Homo-oligomer: A and B are copies of this chain.
Amino acid sequence: MSGRMIQWSEHASPWLRGEGPDSDVVISSRVRLARNVAGFPFLLKAGAAQRRELCQICRAKLLDASMGRTLVWMDLADMPALERQLLVERHLISRQHGQGDKIRGLAVSDDESVAVMVNEEDHIRLQVIYSGMRLADAYRAANAMDDALEKQIDFAFSDKLGYLTACPTNVGTGIRVSVMMHLPALKLTGEIEKVQRAARDMHMAVRGFYGEGTEALGDFYQVSNQTTLGRGEQEILTDFQDQMVPQIVRYEQEARAALAERRPSLLDDRIQRAWAVLTHARLLGSEETLYLLSHLRLGLCMGRIEGPDLQQVNDLFALTGPSHLQRIAGRVLTGSERREFRATFVRQRLSER
């Protein structure tokens, strides 16, 4: 496994590509497994030496279990904060994993579809993420890698409870499946709250753009299963994939159709304003940019505006994040410099057809 830094191109992660089934609503599908190494304490109780040993073990075993992928290893404790923030913006690590100075790592495949956090909340958090509605594929890939790893590492496991995890909500299968959904029409019509309530009733969590505890920026919602204990992995996956997600997709599509039929001016107003401001503003904040991009994306998906291609807009969701912008600028930018650089960058990108 290489220790060098990935050379990020000026594109967002491939899973933001906007391809795959239902990609007008489902941005990406993610399966995450939580595993812990038997014979080591959970991380809350682990000292620096144990953390270091866990990193060494996992780094080596992940290489053996990489299933032909090229995995890059990163020691996060040694990494500048800006680089860690870049990983957060690319959804390769959680916000928590990006912060602090404890010994921890990340193994990431070159296409960014596989990312393994070591020493986050659990010893191992393995995620597979694909563009569009491809949960089954993501599950297969995660499962294969889990099986391969399990041949190398003795996981903490209880015959009664299943996989043991630091947080009780993950105990059992240790699996979390989630999809990132783009729900601008439900937001515009105000029905998003009904969906959130319905999701809770179905034991799903609806979270923001960067996961737990974050806001639903740019009308992006991360929908995930809530509990893993007492249910089989396949059951969780099937429910989620065949029932819950398609239902929300249908709601969003109905809301889009209703807007187009009953309130076309409201719809086009949001879309045209977004396009106008993105192509004219001289200062753009990151949150506002996400909302504008969201409305532009809605317009493109619905064929109500001719502008840049969807891929370009999808890229901008990630590339306009603070760390990406500074990476592109090649230097540290203050808040007001970022707003100006962001506006210039967005105008340039959107004028490329």
Contact = CB atoms under 8 A, between A and B. Distances in A.
Interface string A249-275: 000000000000000011011001101
Contact of A269 (B268, B279, B343): B343
A283 interface: yes
Nearest to A282: B269
A340 B263 CA distance: 11
A281 B272 contact: yes
A276 B343 CA distance: 14
A265 B279 contact: no
Interface in A318-353: 340, 343
A277 B275 CA distance: 9
Contacts of A281: 269, 272-273, 276
Contacts of A269: 281-283, 343
A280 interface: yes
Contact of A266 (B273, B277, B283): B283
Interface in A208-252: none
Contacts of A265: 282-283, 340, 343
A268 to B, nearest CB: 5
A348 B343 CA distance: 27
Question: Does more than half of chain A's interface fall in helix, strand or loop, or is it mixed?
Answer: helix
Listed residue (A275, A280, A340, A343) with the most chain B CB atoms within 10 angstroms of its CB: A280
B277 A282 contact: no
Contacts of A273: 277, 280-281
A177 B343 CA distance: 45
A261 B81 CA distance: 34
B280 A276 contact: yes
A343 B269 CA distance: 9
Nearest to A275: B280
A176 B178 CA distance: 69
Interface string A272-305: 1101110111110000000000000000000000
Nearest to A264: B282
Contacts of A340: 265
Interface of A: 265-266, 268-269, 272-273, 275-277, 279-283, 340, 343
Given A269-B282, A275-B280, 5 more contacts: A265-B343, A266-B282, A269-B283, A273-B280, A276-B281
13 contacts: A265-B282, A265-B340, A268-B282, A269-B281, A269-B343, A272-B280, A273-B277, A273-B281, A276-B276, A276-B277, A276-B279, A276-B281, A277-B277
Nearest 8 A-B pairs (CB), nearest first? A276-B280, A276-B276, A269-B282, A272-B280, A269-B283, A268-B282, A265-B282, A265-B340
